[in-house]
Structure 1
Amino acid sequence: MAKVFPDTPGVDDPGLGRRLGLDVGTVRIGVAVSDRDARLATPVATVPRETGLKDPDKGDIDRLLSIIAEYGIVEIVVGLPRDLQGNGSASVKHAKEIAFRLKRRLNKPFATDPTPPSPAPVVRMGDERLTTVVATTALRASGVSDKKGRSVIDQAAAVEILQSWLDGRAAALGS
Structure 2
Amino acid sequence: MRRGVRLGVDAGSVRIGVARSDPGGILASPLETVRNGKGDIDRIVALAAENEAVEVIVGLPTSLSGREGPAAGEARRFAARIARRLPPGFVRLFDERLTTVTAESGLRERGVHGQARRKVVDQAAAAVLLQAALDAERLTGRPPGEIVRGDT
- Cα root mean square deviation, aligned: 1.5
Runs of 5+ unmatched residues, structure 1: 1-12, 51-57, 108-119
Q: Tell me how far apart the structure 1 counterparts of residues 19 and 116 of structure 2 sit (CA, whole Å).
A: 19
Q: Which residue of 2 aligns with 1:8?
A: none
Q: Residue by residue, what CA displacement relative to the aligned partner does 1:88-110 show, whole Å, maximum 9, x if unpaired?
A: 13211221122101111114xxx
Structure-to-structure mapping, 1:1-175, within 5 angstroms: 15-50=2-37, 58-107=38-87, 122-173=90-141
SS of residue matched to 1:150: helix
SS of residue matched to 2:66: coil
- Say which one has the larger Rg: 1
Runs of 4+ displaced beyond 2 Å? none
Aligned length: 142
Shift of 1:121: 5.9
Deviates more, 1:88-97 or 1:147-156: 88-97
Shift of 1:83: 1.1
Q: Residue by residue, what CA displacement relative to the aligned partner does 1:67-104 show, whole Å, maximum 9, x if unpaired?
A: 00001111111000011100113211221122101111
SS of residue matched to 2:54: strand
Q: Tell me how far apart the structure 2 counterparts of residues 146 and 16 of structure 1 sit (CA, whole Å).
A: 37
Q: Tell me how far apart the structure 2 counterparts of residues 155 and 86 of structure 1 sit (CA, whole Å).
A: 24
**TM-score normalised by length of structure 1:** 0.77
- Contact kept, 8 Å, 1:18 with 1:37, in 2: the verdict is yes
Runs of 5+ unmatched residues, structure 2: 143-152
SS of residue matched to 1:68: helix
Q: Residue by residue, what CA displacement relative to the aligned partner does 1:23-81 show, whole Å, maximum 9, x if unpaired?
A: 0111111000000000000000000001xxxxxxx311111111000011111110000
SS of residue matched to 2:59: strand
**TM-score normalised by length of structure 2:** 0.88
Q: Tell me how far apart the structure 2 counterparts of residues 71 and 121 of structure 1 sit (CA, whole Å).
A: 18
